[in-house]
Every structure is written in structure tokens, then in C-alpha cells.
């Protein structure tokens, strides 16, 4: 098993990286670069090209040429074969990819290694879908002796803009449906964590993905990302990130009315009833907030606990929070790694200060670590607040850090109203032994996913996405394929 503590990751032997356009590894036309650093200790990992409008233009041209050229002539079974080879390479290089994700964005190596089965499986799942795309025939009533049918065709050039909190996850999620449907891709990683997508793109070429089908353009959101979203020769944008940027992308898409799918923020409610298994429910509530240092869009940061068990749940969650080992992601004993950047750390600590100013009670955490092991990194202690009102900032706004608000409730109708009183609707969790209550909540909660007696479960066969300000469109599942396809009606007059 690969262990690179104290060593240099093989991908970083050459610290000046290039981006992939049209099958070639190139620098930005401007020659500019920016640095990406290890959030655990601030050390320099690599320098990557700072792409801009001119680089976006050539990446989109390369994707268009590939779409109109050899890739369009690949049969479904040929696309499937390439995807299966790609999946095998992901599997074979998984330890290396997991370490690269850990170094660049900070998640504990146990976390990044642990997604292997899901993400390799997702690529194989969509490989199966490549040969299962079909239209339908229709029995027409108004048009005489006609044959009428639908065809499903790839939308064309897809622009994907991904976040820093899970680059490997996002790269696989965005690449698989593109390859399955026969589209082409220009992907822009987040500037805070661009390295893993570049390495995955290398593996895609090795798998036989033709040049120009997958392009990876590094740069900043305000320049490269904005130009990509507005580009007139991009047919679809798939974005994962903040609500504000998602809204900007919708506005930018109006020029050519490109298709858009958005997976945005969340403020997920996690509801614990007094008939639940308290130990399991409290543990799920804790890990639902603290996993990946809270840098998960579905983090269950609003923990609603029925009043009879509220104090016990708070005590159990606090015991878990204070027992978690916060340390560098490359340490296999770490439970929680650093936040991705100093900017994000200051943002999270600002929410802690706001909660205290608004009268919330700090149960544990709430501070940055200042010790020789962690003082150069962006480490924040797992934090729990009680005495939180629903109108406080920590209860309303997405924090993207390890901060939980635990609030009591009395009745089902009350907690449904409070859970739904949010502009977000990405995920929701429920713990109860009452089957009727579970089914009622599955229908009544305004969320794209509802987890009952579990939390944050995902599978390639199940769709994932949100409602309200959490976005629209779906990732994963067969439902995602429709985001990358046009439906064409075909009419044939027999006589």
C-alpha cells in the first residue's frame, strides 16, 4: 500500500504542471502560473497554468473538433470499452489518486481511499449505460399512416466547473456521463485543488479516450470559469459549487441558451426522534457534520433532536467531537484534516464568532489549533453549538466547516416546518423506528435526498441533486444521462 509521508508524490516530481487541451499538455498562452499548496502545512505542491479567455477558446475548439470528428464515429460498445479500461486504470492507480487528493485539499487519507468502490463503480455503471441509450416509438392519432419515433443524441460540448472539496469525486462524476453519451468535455478544476483532475486526465488518455474529448483547463473562476460558462460554442454547463456562482452561470448561459445543471449548496436538517437508537443516531449526526472537516455540501449542520433526548444526544456528539483526531490528512490516524485554505478557515471562524455574538452556547471546539504539529495548517476543532435559534446565521447559512447547531423540537409538524424553512434543499436525515413516520417525512421534507436511519449514502444507481437554491438537474443514476442528451422527434410518411 502506498505511503508517501515524508516523500514526494510521483505526480509532483515535476512541480510545473501543464493543462490538457486537444490531447496536448500545454502552458497558458499568457505564460502565467499560480501555486497550489498543502493545506496541512502550507508547503508548495505545484505551479499550474493560469488559463484565461484565450485558453478557454482553444479548449472549446478542441472539444468541438473531437465531437464532430473521430469521437462521433465511436459506436456505443466502443465508448463502453474505453470507459471500462478507464475504470480499470482508476482502480489500479487509486492509492496514488487518493494521496494526491489528500495532499491538495486536505481530506484524511482514509476518507479519500474509502471512495474507491463507489467511484470506480460509477465509471463502470455509466459504461453499461453507454449501450443502453434508446428512444421510443409513438402511436400517433392525428397524422395518418406515420411512423414516429424519438432519438437521443449527445448535446455536444460540455463545460464542467468543479469545487475543491472533492476533486476526485467531481472529476469522475462529471466525466462518466460525458463519455457514456458521446459528448466532449472542457473541465475547469477549482484553483484551490487542481492536481487530481490533471492526473485523472492522463489516465483517460492512457485508456484510449481520443484527444480533445477530455480537456482540463486550470485557472481562476472569475476569468477562466466565467469565460467557459458564457462561451457561445459550449452546449451545456455542469456546475458544482456555491449558489452565487451558480446564479452567475445561469445568467451567462442565456447567450446561446445552453443547457445547465447545478449542484449547489446545502444546509441539511438531520432529525432525531426519541424512539431512535440514540447511540447510532448521535454518531451519525456527528459524522454527518464533521466528515471532511464539514466541507461536504450535504453536511447535516442543522441537528434537530426531540426534546426528551436532546441533552443525551448533545453529550454523545460532544464526546465524539472531542475524541476525533484532527491532523494532517497524510497521517492514517487522522479523523479530520485541515480546511482547504486560510481564507476558508477564517470564514468558518467568523461563523463561530457570529454564533457567540448572537447568543448561542459553545459546547465544544470553536477554535483554531495552535500547536507545533498543526500551527502551519488550517485546522479547526470540531464544534458544537446549542441554544441556537433558527434565525441565527449558523442555522441559516452554509458554513462548509465542522460546525454543528443542535436544536430541540417537540412535534413532527413543528420539525418539518423548521426543516423546510430554508432556501436550500439538498439532503435531509431522519432517525426513527416508526415506519409510518419515516414514510411521511420522506414525502414532506423538501430535499433531493432523504436518508432514513442512515446518512449521506450514495450509489451509482441513485440520482443526487437538490431543490430550491440547492440547484437543479441530477448527478449519478440513469436520470443524469438526460442532462447530456437531446431528444429528437423523427416522422416518416409511409405513403
The band of 372, judged by pLDDT with boundaries at 50, 70 and 90, is confident
Q: Name the residue with higher pLDDT: 367 or 141.
A: 367
pLDDT in tens, 5-25: 556 788 998 999 999 999 999
CATH code of residue 387: 3.40.309.10
Q: Is the pLDDT of residue 370 over 90?
A: no
Asked whether residue 324 is assigned to any structural domain, the reply reads yes
Answer yes or no: do 118 and 226 share one domain: yes
pLDDT of residue 381: 97
The band of 374, judged by pLDDT with boundaries at 50, 70 and 90, is confident
Asked whether residue 378 is assigned to any structural domain, the reply reads yes
Is 98 in contact with 112 (CB distance < 8 Å)? yes
Asked whether residue 2 is assigned to any structural domain, the reply reads no
Q: What is the mean pLDDT of residues 288-304?
A: 97
Answer yes or no: do 313 and 439 share one domain: yes
Is 254 in contact with 224 (CB distance < 8 Å)? no
H or E element at residue 488: strand 485-493
Query: Is there a catalytic annotation at residue 35?
Result: no
Answer yes or no: do 223 and 139 share one domain: yes
- Please provide the DSSP assignment of 390-453 as one string: TTSHHHHS---SSEEEEEEE--HHHHHHHHH-SS--SEEEEE-S-HHHHHHHHHHS-SSEEEES
The band of 389, judged by pLDDT with boundaries at 50, 70 and 90, is very high
pLDDT of residue 1: 43
Answer yes or no: do 217 and 85 share one domain: yes
Answer yes or no: do 199 and 337 share one domain: no
Least confident of 136-145, 420-429, 451-460, 481-490: 136-145
Asked whether residue 495 is assigned to any structural domain, the reply reads no
Q: What percent of the chain has pLDDT over 90?
A: 94
Catalytic member of 263, 398, 475, 483:
263
Domain count, the chain: 2
Answer yes or no: do 175 and 246 share one domain: yes
Q: Is the pLDDT of residue 311 over 90?
A: yes
Is 38 in contact with 374 (CB distance < 8 Å)? no
Asked whether residue 288 is assigned to any structural domain, the reply reads yes
Query: Is there a catalytic annotation at residue 183?
Result: no
Asked whether residue 4 is assigned to any structural domain, the reply reads no
Catalytic member of 297, 330, 398, 475:
297
Is 186 in contact with 228 (CB distance < 8 Å)? yes
- Which residues lie closer than 8 Å to 34 by C-beta, 6 or more apart? 47, 48, 50, 191, 220
Distance of alpha carbon 94 from alpha carbon 3, whole angstroms = 12
Answer yes or no: do 228 and 183 share one domain: yes
Answer yes or no: do 21 and 136 share one domain: yes
CATH code of residue 207: 3.40.605.10
Q: What is the mean pLDDT of residues 373-401?
A: 95
Answer yes or no: do 300 and 344 share one domain: yes
pLDDT of residue 3: 56
Asked whether residue 421 is assigned to any structural domain, the reply reads yes
CB atoms within 10 A of CB 373: 14
Q: Is the pLDDT of residue 424 over 70?
A: yes
Answer yes or no: do 277 and 361 share one domain: yes
Answer yes or no: do 178 and 316 share one domain: no
| 47 DSSP β-pair partners | 16, 35
Asked whether residue 40 is assigned to any structural domain, the reply reads yes
Mean pLDDT of the chain: 96
Q: Provide the residue range defining the domain that includes 321.
A: 269-459
Q: Is the pLDDT of residue 143 over 80?
A: no
Answer yes or no: do 318 and 348 share one domain: yes
Amino acid at each position: 500500500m502506498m505511503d508517501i509521508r515524508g516523500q514526494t508524490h510521483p505526480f509532483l516530481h515535476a512541480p510545473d504542471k501543464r493543462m490538457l487541451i486537444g490531447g496536448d499538455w500545454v502552458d497558458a498562452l499568457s505564460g502565467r502560473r499560480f501555486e497550489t499548496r498543502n493545506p496541512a502545512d502550507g508547503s508548495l505542491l505545484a505551479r499550474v497554468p493560469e488559463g484565461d479567455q484565450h485558453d478557454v477558446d482553444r479548449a472549446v475548439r478542441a472539444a468541438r473538433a473531437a465531437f464532430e470528428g473521430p469521437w462521433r464515429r465511436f459506436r456505443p460498445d466502443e465508448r463502453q470499452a474505453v470507459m471500462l479500461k478507464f475504470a480499470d486504470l482508476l482502480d489500479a492507480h487509486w492509492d496514488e489518486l487518493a494521496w494526491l487528493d489528500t495532499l491538495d485539499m486536505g481530506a484524511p487519507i482514509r476518507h479519500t481511499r474509502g471512495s474507491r468502490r463507489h467511484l470506480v463503480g460509477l465509471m463502470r455503471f455509466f459504461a453499461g449505460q453507454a449501450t443502453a441509450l434508446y428512444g421510443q416509438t409513438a402511436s400517433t392519432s392525428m397524422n395518418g399512416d406515420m411512423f414516429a419515433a424519438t432519438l437521443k443524441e449527445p448535446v455536444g460540448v460540455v463545460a464542467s466547473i468543479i469545487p475543491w472539496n472533492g476533486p476526485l469525486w467531481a472529476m469522475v462524476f462529471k466525466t462518466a456521463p460525458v463519455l457514456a453519451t458521446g459528448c466532449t468535455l472542457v473541465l475547469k478544476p477549482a484553483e484551490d485543488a487542481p492536481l487530481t483532475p490533471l492526473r485523472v486526465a492522463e489516465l483517460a488518455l492512457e485508456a484510449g479516450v481520443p484527444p480533445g474529448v477530455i480537456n482540463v483547463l486550470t485557472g481562476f473562476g472569475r476569468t477562466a470559469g466565467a469565460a467557459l460558462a458564457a462561451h457561445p460554442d459550449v452546449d451545456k454547463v455542469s456546475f458544482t459549487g456555491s449558489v452565487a456562482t451558480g446564479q452567475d452561470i445561469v445568467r451567462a448561459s442565456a447567450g446561446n441558451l445552453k443547457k445547465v445543471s447545478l449542484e449547489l449548496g446545502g444546509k441539511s436538517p438531520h432529525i432525531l426522534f426519541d424512539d431512535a437508537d440514540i447511540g447510532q443516531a448521535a454518531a451519525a449526526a456527528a459524522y454527518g457534520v464533521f466528515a471532511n472537516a464539514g466541507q461536504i455540501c450535504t453536511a447535516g449542520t442543522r441537528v434537530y433532536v426531540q426534546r426528551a433526548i436532546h441533552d443525551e444526544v448533545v453529550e454523545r456528539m460532544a464526546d465524539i467531537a472531542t475524541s476525533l483526531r484532527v491532523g494532517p490528512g497524510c497521517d492514517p490516524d487522522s479523523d479530520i484534516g485541515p480546511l482547504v485554505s486560510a481564507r476558508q478557515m477564517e470564514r468558518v471562524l467568523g461563523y463561530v464568532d457570529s454564533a457567540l455574538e448572537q447568543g448561542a452556547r459553545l459546547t465544544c471546539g470553536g477554535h483554531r489549533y495552535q500547536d507545533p504539529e498543526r500551527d502551519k495548517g488550517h485546522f479547526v476543532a470540531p464544534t458544537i453549538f446549542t441554544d441556537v435559534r433558527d434565525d441565527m446565521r449558523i442555522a441559516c447559512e452554509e458554513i462548509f466547516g465542522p460546525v454543528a447547531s443542535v436544536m430541540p423540537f417537540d412535534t413532527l409538524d413543528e420539525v418539518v416546518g423548521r426543516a423546510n424553512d430554508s432556501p436550500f434543499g439538498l439532503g435531509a436525515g431522519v432517525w426513527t423506528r416508526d415506519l409510518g413516520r419515516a414514510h411521511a417525512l420522506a414525502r414532506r421534507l423538501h430535499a433531493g435526498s432523504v436518508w432514513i436511519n442512515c446518512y449521506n449514502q450514495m450509489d451509482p444507481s441513485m440520482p443526487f441533486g437538490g431543490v430550491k437554491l440547492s440547484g437543479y438537474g441530477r448527478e449519478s443514476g440513469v436520470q443524469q444521462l438526460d442532462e447530456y442528451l437531446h431528444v429528437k422527434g423523427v416522422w416518416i410518411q409511409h405513403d
